[in-house]
């Protein structure tokens, strides 16, 4: 039985936007196992990103509890959350967020310099198939390559969790598939728990579990008995 890495109980998040109260999460319960690949699907505003933000230590829940292993994330202050992100979490964004003044190698090194037991930047870049491009600046890389650098940067510190918010959102299908391939490759080799938000329903087949979000809650859960290989994806 794999270890449980996230435990959410009655998690709620309420935003006050002007005079409106927005209930982004309404008493959500969830367990995520170590090494699992989870895809989060659902319309805009259904709570996927809010959950990911709270799991990543970027945002605070309004009520309820969220445990990372034995640590109660919902009880940590900003400084402790920073340390948590630094040690345990890798992020992949829709728009890559690379530092334009640093090469691919240096963008990865930026994170390995502050991590505790990182892999070498070369190694991380090799994992995403970019060993030949590591001296290039972001301006010299294609969108897919930039996103793979972002993945290499996210995994180089050997995080236990990789949180991806629409990692293929800005990419065409061929490059998108290469990016998913890279993510799954990292999961297979390092056993990193991977949570992927997407609007692209065809990606769900590569996951262990698919969570369908609606109105701040998980409306449906689907377990894939057999994950499809990324090479079989099309969209």
Binding site for other proteins (CB under 8 A): 49, 53, 56, 58-59, 79, 82-87, 89, 91, 93-95, 97-103, 105-107, 109-111, 113-114, 135, 137-140, 153, 165
Task: Name the residue with tokens 């800005």.
Answer: 170
In the complex, least distance from residue 99 CB atom to other proteins, rounded to whole angstroms? 6
The answer to whether 212 touches 227, Cβ cutoff 8 Å, is: no
Q: How many CB atoms lie within 10 A of CB 59?
A: 16
Nearest to other proteins of 29, 140 (CB atom) = 140
In the complex, least distance from residue 1 CB atom to other proteins, rounded to whole angstroms? 30
Nearest to other proteins of 47, 230 (CB atom) = 47
Nearest to other proteins of 24, 41 (CB atom) = 24
Nearest to other proteins of 37, 92 (CB atom) = 92
Nearest to other proteins of 135, 172 (CB atom) = 135
> Can you tell me the distance from the alpha carbon of 133 to that of 73, in angstroms, rounded to the nearest whole number?
37
In the complex, least distance from residue 135 CB atom to other proteins, rounded to whole angstroms? 7
In the complex, least distance from residue 79 CB atom to other proteins, rounded to whole angstroms? 7
Task: Name the residue with tokens 């590591």.
Answer: 134
> Can you tell me the distance from the alpha carbon of 28 to that of 11, in angstroms, rounded to the nearest whole number?
5
Q: Which residues pair with 4 in a beta bridge?
A: 33
Nearest to other proteins of 63, 142 (CB atom) = 142
Residue 139: is it exposed, middle or buried by C-beta count within 10 angstroms (0-12/13-18/19+)? exposed
In the complex, least distance from residue 163 CB atom to other proteins, rounded to whole angstroms? 9
In the complex, least distance from residue 89 CB atom to other proteins, rounded to whole angstroms? 7
């Amino acid at each position: 039985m794999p270890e449980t890495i996230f435990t959410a109980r009655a998690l709620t998040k309420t935003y006050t936007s002007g005079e409106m109260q927005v209930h982004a999460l309404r008493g959500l319960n969830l367990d995520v196992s170590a090494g699992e690949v989870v895809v989060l699907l659902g319309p805009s505003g259904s709570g996927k990103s809010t959950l990911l933000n709270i799991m990543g230590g970027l945002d605070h829940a309004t009520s309820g509890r969220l445990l990372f292993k034995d640590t109660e994330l919902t009880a940590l202050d900003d400084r402790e959350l920073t340390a948590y992100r630094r040690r345990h979490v890798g992020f992949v964004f829709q728009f890559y967020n690379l530092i334009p003044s640093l090469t691919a190698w240096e963008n990865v090194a930026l994170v390995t310099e502050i991590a505790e037991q990182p892999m070498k930047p070369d190694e991380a870049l090799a994992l995403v198939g970019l060993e030949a491009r590591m001296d290039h600046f972001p301006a010299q890389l294609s969108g897919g390559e930039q996103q793979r650098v972002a993945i290499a940067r996210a995994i180089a510190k050997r995080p236990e969790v990789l949180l991806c918010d629409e990692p293929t959102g800005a990419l065409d299908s061929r490059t998108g598939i290469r990016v998913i391939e890279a993510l799954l490759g990292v999961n297979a080799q390092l056993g990193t728990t991977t949570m992927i938000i997407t609007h692209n329903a065809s990606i769900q087949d590569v996951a262990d579990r698919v969570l369908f979000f609606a109105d701040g809650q998980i409306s449906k859960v689907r377990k894939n008995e057999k994950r499809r290989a990324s090479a079989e994806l099309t969209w």
